[in-house]
Amino acid sequence: MDQAEQQIREMRKEMLATGWNGNLGLDEIRMAPKEKLRGWNGEPVEAWRLESLVGVTYALGRPGHPYRDWIAPFIDIDGGLLRRPEWVAFWLHDVDTQALARQWLRWGHSFSQRFRKVTSGSGGDNQLMTYLIDTDCVMTADKGFVDIIEACRPFAPKPLPTTQCVIAGEIGADAVLTQLEAA
């Protein structure tokens, strides 16, 4: 968690250094690789695609990474997959956003987090974000997490759950239990 928090702090610092104020919708943000990649058509792509290409490629190239452990029994990762133009084209052009909604949500949270205060829980929130498409309601005392869910909602490829802020501590826990009993 400490490493995740530090990475988020660095991404926030880099974003603030650009002077950009986040005035585009998440569906309007485009990026281009720093160098020409075989399989890329040369046009800017949705930011989630490039960040996913980089992140998943990194993860699959690391022995012991969970992504690699999950996928290696089904796909020959070490046979050159990660260096093929088709791998790049898949992530940057071919894959349907709806099919990888969790990947989009991870990116949407990560990007939105760059404009918010970083806390020790920020990395965990990024993990939680991927499960929201399986959830009906999020009840939390973390207003920042709720704000990011709401920032992603209009652009998310799948519906997101309702959100409700509760008071932290025992009073909030009682409110959550009361609401669950009523459901």
pLDDT at residue 111, as a whole number = 87
Q: Which of 32-46, 73-87, 116-130, 136-150 has the lowest mean pLDDT?
A: 116-130
**Distance (Å, rounded) from C-alpha 102 to C-alpha 97?**
9
Given a cut of 80, whether residue 117 has pLDDT beyond it is: no
Under the banding of pLDDT at 50, 70 and 90, the label for residue 20 is low
Given a cut of 70, whether residue 5 has pLDDT beyond it is: no
pLDDT at residue 175, as a whole number = 84
Name residue 143's amino acid: K
Kindly give the residue spans of alpha helices, DSSP state H, lying in the chain.
Answer: 2-18, 47-60, 66-71, 85-89, 101-113, 122-129, 143-152, 170-182
Under the banding of pLDDT at 50, 70 and 90, the label for residue 113 is confident
**Distance (Å, rounded) from C-alpha 122 to C-alpha 103?**
17
pLDDT at residue 42, as a whole number = 97
pLDDT at residue 21, as a whole number = 62
The two three-digit tokens of residue 85, written as one number: 């133009």
Across the strands, what pairs with 162?
Answer: 137
